[in-house]
Each structure stands twice: as structure tokens, then as C-alpha cells.
């Protein structure tokens, strides 16, 4: 094990901080800041091979390796494992991370000369069925879609009908009322019922 004094002389923590600035994702930056020096020659050679393969891919692929969509979903996954409730935004982050991981895996799988990276991702599952279900049930703004369930669609439809009836009744009431209920600038009153 490398002594703390040696790490300090090497300015290892400063080097890791600098390396983190090049990371494409928040998780990559966290991993870079906590990078440990390999303890064996075999581990060192494996990490050097990973670095060489990534370097070669970056130079060969237009735009390099893409980490688009990959986010830090650790807290949401921990809560889900405990059967906790996730927000729509958290579910969308999970879906985009799954999509990003799938695209990254596909890029690596399509290469013939990256055996170390291929081995590294060999156990990576991307759960496309979960991703598709999230996109089916959650809108781009993180709200639950009517497509999530027929019962929800029915409830929202009835809610809209009730809101429309209330609006219509208030509009009639305001237009039939004496002048104090109306705006002085407009002879016709208007009612604004913002959606909840």
C-alpha cells in the first residue's frame, strides 16, 4: 500500500481534482476525484489498456464517446429499492440514463478492437422495457401522462368536464351580475380558472 506521505509528494489529490474536470458526467467526476492508485502490476496494465482503447475510440468516432443523458440516479434507485416514491423528474432521469447507457454500450459493442472495454461492459443491462414504460407514463415535463392508466385518463377527463362546467357557471354569474362584479374597463367579465 502506498504511504500517505508518498501520495502527498505526488500531489495525487490535486491530480485527481484536475482529472475530474475532464469527466463527461457528474459520476465520472466523482470517480476521478476518488481515484486510487492501482496496487498491482496487473491492475495497472488493465487500466492502461482501458485508457488506450478509450483514447483510440475518441480519435476514431465522430464526436467521440457520448455520455449524453447519463446522470446520477443513485439516490432515486436506492429509494426505489426501498419501495419509495419517485418524482416524474427522477423517473425521466432514470429513463434517459438507461438510454444513454444503451447507446454507449452499442457504440462499444460495434467496435472490434476494444476487448478490455467490451469485457468492462459485458454485464451491463440497460432495461429497455423499463425505459419505454417510463416514457409511456411520464411526459417530457415530468408529469404523469393520461397514458399511464385508463383510470387516470378517466379521472382527468371528468375533472376537465367539472372545471368546464364551473367555468361556464361563473362566467354566466359574472355576466348577469350588477356592475360591481365587472371590470370597469370591460363590460363583459372574464373568469380565469388555471389548471391545478
pLDDT tens, 81-123? 999 999 999 999 999 999 999 999 999 999 999 999 999 999 9
Q: Are 64 and 53 in contact (CB under 8 A)?
A: no
**Residue 152 β-bridge partners:** none
Neighbours of 104 (CB within 10 A): 20
Residues 6+ apart with CB under 8 A from 37: 2, 7, 12
Query: Cell digits for 110?
Result: 460495434
Q: What is the pLDDT of residue 196?
A: 52
The pLDDT of residue 189: 53
- The grid coordinates of residue 174 equal 359574472
**pLDDT band at residue 7, thresholds of 50, 70 and 90?**
confident
Q: What percent of the chain has pLDDT over 90?
A: 58
CB 193 within 8 A of CB 162: no
The whole-number pLDDT of residue 143 equals 86
Decide: 86 and 80 in contact? Cβ < 8 Å: yes
For the stretch 38-95, pLDDT in tens is: 889 999 999 999 999 999 999 999 888 899 999 999 999 999 999 999 999 999 999 9
Q: What are the φ and ψ backbone dihedral angles of 185, each rounded to 5 degrees? A: -85, -20
* Three-point CA angle 169, 174, 177, nearest 5°: 120
Given a cut of 70, whether residue 126 has pLDDT beyond it is yes
Tell me if 73 sits within 8 A of 94, measured CB to CB. yes
pTM: 0.72
Residue with cell 423528474: 89
The alpha-helical segments, DSSP class H, found in the chain are 4-9, 12-20, 26-33, 41-60, 74-81, 88-109, 115-120, 128-137, 150-176
> What percentage of the chain reaches a pLDDT higher than 70?
89
pLDDT bracket for residue 144 (50, 70, 90): confident
Q: Which of 120, 99, 102, 100 is nearest to 53 (CA)?
A: 120
- Three cell numbers at 42? 496487473
- Cell numbers that stand for 114 in this block: 476494444
Residue 184 has pLDDT above 70, yes or no: no
Amino acid at each position: 500500500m502506498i504511504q500517505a506521505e508518498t501520495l502527498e509528494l505526488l500531489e495525487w489529490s490535486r491530480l485527481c481534482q484536475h482529472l475530474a474536470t475532464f469527466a463527461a458526467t457528474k459520476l465520472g467526476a466523482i470517480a476521478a476525484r476518488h481515484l486510487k492508485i492501482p496496487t498491482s502490476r496487473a491492475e495497472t496494465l488493465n487500466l492502461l489498456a482501458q485508457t488506450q482503447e478509450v483514447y483510440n475510440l475518441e480519435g476514431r468516432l465522430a464526436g467521440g464517446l457520448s455520455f449524453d443523458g447519463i446522470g446520477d440516479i443513485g439516490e432515486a434507485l436506492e429509494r426505489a429499492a426501498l419501495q419509495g416514491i419517485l418524482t416524474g423528474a427522477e423517473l425521466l432521469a432514470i429513463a434517459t440514463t438507461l438510454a444513454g447507457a444503451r447507446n454507449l454500450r452499442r457504440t462499444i459493442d460495434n467496435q472490434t478492437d476494444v476487448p478490455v472495454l467490451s469485457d468492462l461492459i459485458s454485464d451491463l443491462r440497460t432495461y429497455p422495457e423499463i425505459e419505454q414504460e417510463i416514457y409511456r407514463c411520464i411526459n417530457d415535463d415530468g408529469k404523469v401522462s393520461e397514458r399511464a392508466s385508463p383510470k387516470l385518463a378517466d379521472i382527468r377527463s371528468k375533472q376537465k368536464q367539472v372545471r368546464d362546467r364551473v367555468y361556464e357557471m361563473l362566467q354566466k354569474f359574472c355576466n348577469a351580475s350588477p356592475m360591481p362584479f365587472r371590470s370597469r374597463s370591460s363590460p363583459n367579465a372574464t373568469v380565469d380558472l388555471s389548471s391545478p
